[in-house]
Structure 1
Amino acid sequence: MFKIIMSPYRRLVLVATTLLCLLLFIFINHKANGDNMPATSARVAQLFTKTKTICVGRFLIDVPQEAEVVYGPTYLPWPITAYPGKGESIDMVVAERLSELDAEKAWASGPLLDNDSSVGKIVNGAMPNQKIVFGVSKGSSRIYRIDSYIRVNDDLFIQRADPISSKKDAAVRELNVIAESLRSRGELEIPTQPGVCIEAGFVSDHTMPSHEALNIGVRLFEFPDVHLALSVTKKNAFVESDALEPRLRQAEEMASRSGNTAWYSRIKTLRRGRREIGKWHGFEMLARKPAQAEEGASHEFVFVSQGEPKNPLLPVLELEFHTGVKENRIGGTNPSVSDDEAVAIWDLLTGSIRVRPTSAQ
């Protein structure tokens, strides 16, 4: 018999959701009796009546059922991109890549021209449906571009490494390790073994990557102009510039120097200060920005925690929340939510972020 273990933060979100649903019930009841009641709480309650749990990296987040989740750049430790449902196209994609190699050979220089150079070669990877192609990086004629093409069931994954010549073999080993550890995953599947969720896939902890970075965007169907971006990055050292507070002070100083003090002074701060999300200790800034000449008013919320170096379960966590987004342009339309609604949505989304439970914990 399975016992469901729920973290205190998950319980908090559950309680909050229950209270919001209760508010929705009260709102509907009041409307039925002809009472006049603001719809703010009711709209947020309705939004979170049904949610789905998304796995990103080693973490989970609860989002509204109809929300669209878009996966951004993923690094394990090299960038890897998923092409769901494109597994059958692997031969065609590899052939297209091979057709580019003659031009790249002419671009190669230094060690990539040596007799033992791999430029132009294609080899089998560690897995039956994996091919590795060696070319030349666009960034430097002395650096390899190594593409690993992996078919997993109906899906295609492409991972690209750009090592210097002396690190070529090490990069190939890293690409093979990921290919060996990779399997397909449905959008709502929550794996129980240790590892990393990526778009359409899961990479088990065969060998922990030296670098992990994952990004997702959440777009709300009910409020299309409201976007949340989540980024987790495992770093090997504490990077002081990651902190949010110095960046805010710098922005204030730049506004003063550039003559934008009047506009900056009209920014409405909704919340600013220290905050904890799960085990992350960080700093957040919640503000409503006034309109500018070429940009309308919008909400901009940010949270940053510097995490703990080398700890995959406590990476750098960065969260950004915007309203008024249209065609990926902030301030392209009027915000569809009030200040209170924006804060409530932000709290419910960010408050649900937690470490994914695994069999190793």
Structure 2
Amino acid sequence: MKEEWKTHAIGRHLVDVPASAKLVESWDYGRDSLELLALGDDAQFSRLVTQREAQLKTPAEKFSKPSFVERVALSNGSVTIFSWSLTETEGIYMTDTYFRAGRRIIRYQKDAIPVANKEKAMIFLKRCSEKWREIPAGQMPEGIGFVVGNTILADNFPNYESWRLLIKLEGKPDVTLEVSSFVGAAEEGLRQRAGGILARMLGMAAGLSQLRNHARPVGPIQADEILVAGTQDGKRGYGFKWEAPGKSYSLAEPNLNVSLEVRESAYATNRESFSSDDEALELWDTLVNSIRLRPGAV
């Protein structure tokens, strides 16, 4: 790994990022979002749950009845609250679940649960509540699990999990750099999908050129990359894309994407992005080459 870079764990993968970058993360589990809340003791946890329960017990303006159904205790002090997603007559629940992972609190909201699936939802939530762990400060996560910030859901339950990592580079506000992953497979590879569009772009846009368009495996990960750059009014723009199409229902081989963009902005020069193609490519290659499945994650 390069100096002044660090290894970051997210989902079931590791990626190296500049140590000075600001990282913005989001995660979904079973297609529903996870929210990592601040450190909390028992009193704060109880307060969060009680506040949400009170909200659900207050009738909404358009309904005469409160949406609250019941509060259910889970393992390790976790709690889930069932409420009506729309109205009671439509028979669709939603859940607000507050998981405990050591001192950490994770909020998980799941929508559109038919009444007939309530027991199945409870089994799933109970299983999750038994699997959350806090990651000790300064340590890399070990073993099976889906990493969410400084916590890990230590399970390999087949599901449609995903994550997104936005990397805000220090001193480069004009650069948008993102890494993402979701369980699923693209029907076609990146170069198959982009071929015709790319040809038209290159033919229509003055100064637009193709830097790369080829297969770009990273270790065992099969992937493609397309890198395009262009100059307009003296400013250099970039559109980089790397994608591993993934395999259906595979936690170990999800669809992985990396994108880098420098587009039109309030900045008239490249001082807030890259001084040259070589600088852009060096950062891109270092990041893409570092992506790997965390050992033992699955």
Query: After TM superposition, is the score higher than 0.5?
Result: yes
Partners in 2 of 1:59 and 1:148 — Cα distance? 25
Corresponding residue of 1:67: 21
For residues 33 and 247 of structure 2, the distance between their equivalents in structure 1, rounded to whole angstroms, comes to 22
Name the counterpart of 1:218.
Answer: 167
Query: Structure 2 length as normaliser, TM-score?
Result: 0.83
Residues 103 and 252 (structure 1), Cα distance of their counterparts in 2 relative to 1, 3 Å cut: farther
Check if 1:269 corresponds to 2:210: yes
The normalised TM-score by structure 1 is 0.70
Tell me the equivalent position of 1:305: 244
Deviation per CA, 1:234-270, whole angstroms, max 9, x where unpaired? 22xx4416x32344246458x68xxx9633x532221
Write 1 or 2 for the structure with the bigger share of strand: 2
Are the aligned partners of 1:298 and 1:331 in contact in 2 as well (CA < 8 Å)?
Answer: no
Tell me the equivalent position of 1:124: 72
Q: CA distance change for structure 1 residues 270 and 299 in 2, over 3 Å: closer, same or farther? A: same
Give the aligned partner of residue 32 of structure 2: 78
Change (3 A) 1:186 1:231: farther
Provide the residue aligned with 1:347 in structure 2. 285
Superposed structure 1 runs of 4+ greater than 6 Å apart: none
Q: 2:167, 2:178 within 8 Å by CA — same for their partners in 1?
A: yes
Matched positions, count: 289
Q: Which residue of 2 aligns with 1:50?
A: 4
Identity %: 23
1:189, 1:76 → 2: CA distance? 27
The amino acid that maps onto 1:309 is S
* C-alpha RMSD of matched pairs (Å): 3.2
Is residue 137 from structure 1 mapped to residue 137 from structure 2 by the alignment? Answer: no
Contact 1:288 1:297 in 2 (8 A): yes
Q: Which residue of 2 aligns with 1:171?
A: 121
Unaligned stretches of 5+ residues in structure 2 = none
- Unaligned stretches of 5+ residues in structure 1: 1-13, 15-47, 325-329
Task: Give the 3-state SS of the residue equivalent to 2:216 in structure 1.
Answer: strand
SS at match of 2:59: helix
Cα distance change on mapping 1:225 and 1:189 into 2, 3 Å: farther
Q: Which amino acid aligns with 1:348?
A: T
- 2:31 and 2:131 mapped to 1: Cα distance? 13
CA separation of 1:240 and 1:126: change in aligned 2, threshold 3 A: same
